[in-house]
Amino acid sequence: MRLTNDLRGALKGGQLALYFQPIVHLRTGRIHKAEALIRWNHPQRGMVSPLEFIPLAEASGLIIEIGSWVLRESVQWVRRWRSEHHPEFQVSVNQSPLEFQREDGSYQAWLGELQALDLPGQSVVVEITEGLLLDANSAVSNKLLQLRDAGIQVALDDFGTGYSSLSYLKKFDIDYLKIDRSFTRNLAPESSDMALSDAIIVMAHKLGLRVIAEGVETAEQRELLLAAGCDYGQGYLFARPMPADQFDALLKAQA
Ligand code: G
Ligand code: G
Ligand code: MN
Ligand code: NA
């Protein structure tokens, strides 16, 4: 397929870029982490969404190369942000279910990248979706154990949108829950989304997980989340995803 061929060229031709969006510690307002979000600037089509090209990358096997490119870029930047901004800064990278389950996408290579830069596994968080844990096969369990052994942390992305069978929260070692932005959007005192968010936060904390609310767009949403005990927020209220050098400047400005 045409776009798949273009994607092969994009990897080599420098058309891929990694954007970063701040993850803010709600109580202090400080940026503790960044989510890495891939962008493809296609020479004719302009920006192509990852929602469109990640499936092509999976079907063609290019996802492996793209995934290692994302990690290599991420660790270069996280090294800088750990040394210049905060020693515990983390970069969070997304992995789609197919990508996560592939045998050839081993975390040994990741660990090598981290070790080469003298970075601990805790520099990186991997974002996966709950669907993956729902029908977890041995490939998924093994991957999670590999991550754990490497010290790499795990976040459950889009939490609350799938079949939130909560039993997997005790079965697997998860570090962060990311409350999906469909809950954040309609947050208001006494609303059902407020009740659900409250419950998710209480439960997560009792299980030893930290909570990141996605899609925070208004100061009211931030205040309600903070009052509910939510640990972190991410969304347009703080900043949109931006090129790495801009993110770097943003960190310097808040220092
Ligand atoms: O930033 P944006 O809304 O365009 O992201 C769209 C989707 O693409 C999100 O679901 C996000 O998780 C996914 N995505 C972004 N970057 C990556 C990446 O590096 N790898 C994978 N597998 N998915 C990504
Ligand atoms: O699926 P995942 O949660 O990884 O995707 C994150 C997506 O959410 C990215 O595409 C990012 O651009 C988008 N996003 C980040 N902050 C906001 C926000 O405040 N509002 C909305 N509508 N989208 C957001
Ligand atoms: Mn994500
Ligand atoms: Na999400």
pLDDT tens column, 37-61: 999 999 999 999 999 999 999 999 9
Give the range of the structural domain holding residue 47, as residue numbers without chain letter. Answer: 2-254
Minimal CA–CA distance to 65: which of 132, 8, 126, 146? 8
Residues with CB under 6 A from ligand 1: 37-38, 49-51, 54, 70, 94-96, 99, 241
Residues 6+ apart with CB under 8 A from 169: 203, 207, 209
State the pLDDT at residue 45. 94
Mutate to test the pocket of ligand 2, among 21, 128, 177 (most ligand atoms within 8 A of CB): 21
pTM value? 0.96
Residue 9 has φ and ψ, to the nearest 5°, of -65, -35
State the pLDDT at residue 161. 85
Q: How far apart are CA 67 and CA 245, in angstroms?
A: 21
Is there a contact between 57 and 40 (Cβ–Cβ < 8 Å)? Answer: no
Give residues whose Cβ lies within 5 Å of ion ligand 4: 157-158
Residues (pLDDT < 50) of the chain are: none
- Count structural domains, the chain: 1
Is there a contact between 228 and 201 (Cβ–Cβ < 8 Å)? Answer: yes
* Residue 8, domain CATH: 3.20.20.450
Residues with CB under 6 A from ligand 2: 21, 37, 94, 157-158, 181, 214-215, 217, 235-236, 241
Mutate to test the pocket of ligand 1, among 62, 66, 91, 94 (most ligand atoms within 8 A of CB): 94
Pairing of strands 153-159, 124-129: parallel
Q: How far apart are CA 193 and CA 164, in angstroms?
A: 15
Residue carrying structure tokens 């970075």: 119
State the pLDDT at residue 171. 86
Mutate to test the pocket of ligand 2, among 181, 186, 247 (most ligand atoms within 8 A of CB): 181
State the pLDDT at residue 165. 67
State the pLDDT at residue 134. 81
Q: How far apart are CA 2 and CA 138, in angstroms?
A: 35
3-state secondary structure of 144: helix
State the pLDDT at residue 97. 87
Dihedral of the alpha carbons of 241, 93, 103, 163, in degrees to the nearest 10: -90
Q: How many CB atoms lie within 10 A of CB 245?
A: 10
Ligand 1: centre distance to CA 37 (Å) = 5
